[in-house]
Structure 1
Amino acid sequence: MVKLRFKKICLIFILSILIASSFINPVLAFSDYEQDVAQRIYQDLAQQYRIKEFEQNSLEYKTLKKLEANIIHPKFKEEEFRLHYIDDKLINAYYIGDGNIMIFRGLLEKLESEAQLAALISHEMGHAVNEHLSEDLERNLGLSLLNLLFNHFTDNQYQTITNIAQNLIANGYSREQERESDIYGFDLMLRSDYNPQALVELMQIFAKNSKNNKLLEFTQTHPIPESRIEYLEKRIGKQQNKKEKALQIAKEKDETERIEIKTNKKQTKNFTNQIISFAYPQSWQLKKEKNLTAEMEFKYSLQTEEARGEIFLLDLTKKEFMQTAAKQFNFESLRAVEKGFEIKKEKLSQAKLNIYRLQIAKGDKVGLKYFISPKDKQLMLNFDFRVKIKELNQFDKKIKTLIDSLDYK
């Protein structure tokens, strides 16, 4: 009895390790059994129809790749999808697993634009990313935990899975699954710079031709209730409202910035030497200080109503360690933490500049440090200020305006 109990404990322990290890391994987007099912379904289709993959110079292939490049789901963003052409008048398309999307000639001939093609492909991608086929297989087969973890099936089980998968595809996905794919397709089209209105147009094409017997095949696998068109139109309306609001905010911001720029031009001084130039507020008092190290090109102390500190420029080619702005930024961050300061780190890089901002705080004391390097020169401009808390936001805006005026010669 003790031996039997010990064996059970050992078995549970071993299974626990195996299950845990399966979660440590990288998760595959397409499971082994899905890959096998897709291969078998493809072979069955190939016996009935002439199938070929779209060529790389075709619109269909380019549209697929454009959509594929904008997948952000961590499990699928590195996966490759394949688009297959079935030369038959049937009006249908479906996802068979393992990244394979099948489109019939009859359906392609109904499409009127690239955006409608993108709508169709992105919708089928939605079935893949939402794992609808695997979801249905697991529900219909009642696959065990170990089956799913280790993809362990007999040949007979694989054939059963394939048969069920074919029936699932033939009978279509649930309305909830179709809705999930519509929404995924909508978002993917937006990220890929396609107008999602094409999804509605696609549905309308099907609705318009619903009496066509050739469409029966598609509507069986992709039910198209009026509600699908309705919620897509509502989603498009919400998106347009967001876009219009964002444009209005951007316009108001632009107008505000223009006013500020005009005002600032009257309220700034120019700093210039043989290395660098920038504009700074007239209220700032800069005082030249002695260079303390060989790599220091210049140093100025600063005193304003809001802050006190210093501005200095380093020639990084003369430094023996921490020869980049990033290294200096990380070093100062670690040193601040060691001294008990709370820190906030930001990278604010521009096209020509690497910009690192470090905010440190302890009690009512706030320090603000900037490390700024041109991407094509080994120079680093440093700002090191002590700022009044209530003046921090306004002072930070002035620093960013100064940075925008920076010009390395």
Structure 2
Amino acid sequence: MGPSVLFIHPDLGIGGAERLVVDAALALKSRGCQVQVWTAHYDISHCFSETLDSGIPIRCCGDWLPRSIFGKCLALCAYIRMIFLAFYVVFLSGEQFDVVFCDQVSACIPVFKLARNRKRVLFYCHFPDQLLTQRTLLIKKIYRAPIDWLEERTTGMADCIVVNSQFTSKIFKKTFTSLPHIEPDVLYPSLNVSNFKYSVSDDLSEFVPVKRDVVFLSINRYERKKNLNLALESLSSLRSKLNLLEWEKIHLILAGGYDERVRENVEHYEELKDITEKYEINDHVTFLRSFSDKQKCNLLHNCTCILYTPSNEHFGIVPVEAMYMYCPVIAVNSGGPLESIVDNVTGFLCSPTPEAFSDAMKKFVKNPTLRTTMGKSGYARVLKNFSSEAFSDQLYHYICKLTECK
């Protein structure tokens, strides 16, 4: 029997961070480790399917604590919820474990150091939290100062720190200036290919009108930082570059994680709908709020190309998922996509402008074979660089090294 690992995560919903936690737990379980996941929120109607039938114990505690204070102080509330959860695990749950896998919120790490038997902690840094918020007002700067200090101090208390890309590694060192002695390793998120074993059809009639055979797809949460408006503006720009017959073949699907509890999701969905009205493209756009794994496979199998719009994305698992499904990607030329996508081979890396994106989209309209050639290259790249075996080997090595140090 391998080491026992406890995963602690703020909200086990549907997103890139949550996907990594699930994949990491499954990878270690396959290596003989005992794994369990603790979270402050878990909704079986809004989660990855593997959490339901994988046999991984999932415990929820602290969901009664507020997620925000009148829509504000999200970071403070997240820190409080995670610290409470960690205290419960260490002092009240009675659970036994060798290593803690912590990600997103580092504030809980000191609690595991207070345990009678101090726990070894691996912290997975998706991106420094302090860079994920704007500070235009003085009161916001004052509010964030102690939170930023706490993030840096508690991150440095981890016994092992890994990041999701070379891009994030550079940002980590620039941001946490008091931690120059730490050189985080890069552990690329893997692709759990079992999520793509569903039988797929060649039918998108559920989402796309008949005869729309050039389908662009965006998969991202309904959050403003994901820059989904770029996909809509690029579609509008593309219309001016095509004749009427070509334009009538074009359709865009905006698919993304959507949680009615999150005000930004609700507001941004309405904003995007307004944009389609503004550019008069609403009959060429389908909004899909949340979707099943089977639906995602079907979308990736049938679409012409993925539009990946976030700038400075920490890694971004969607381009890797798309390439595994033989689907090319048009992405912003910054952040993680620079490491996952090969420009002009598995897709196109563009400046984040409607003009640049629509130029790349036009190539797929004018040259239908591009989807096949780039799709094959993308599939080969995923197998070589982002396999679950490579991820599992590296993660298991870190866990074993931490248990040896005890």
TM-score, normalised by the number of residues in structure 2: 0.22
Instruction: Choose between structure 1 and 2: higher helix proportion.
Output: 1
Higher RCO (CA < 8 A, seq sep 6+): 2
- Structure having the higher Rg: 1
TM-score (norm 1): 0.22
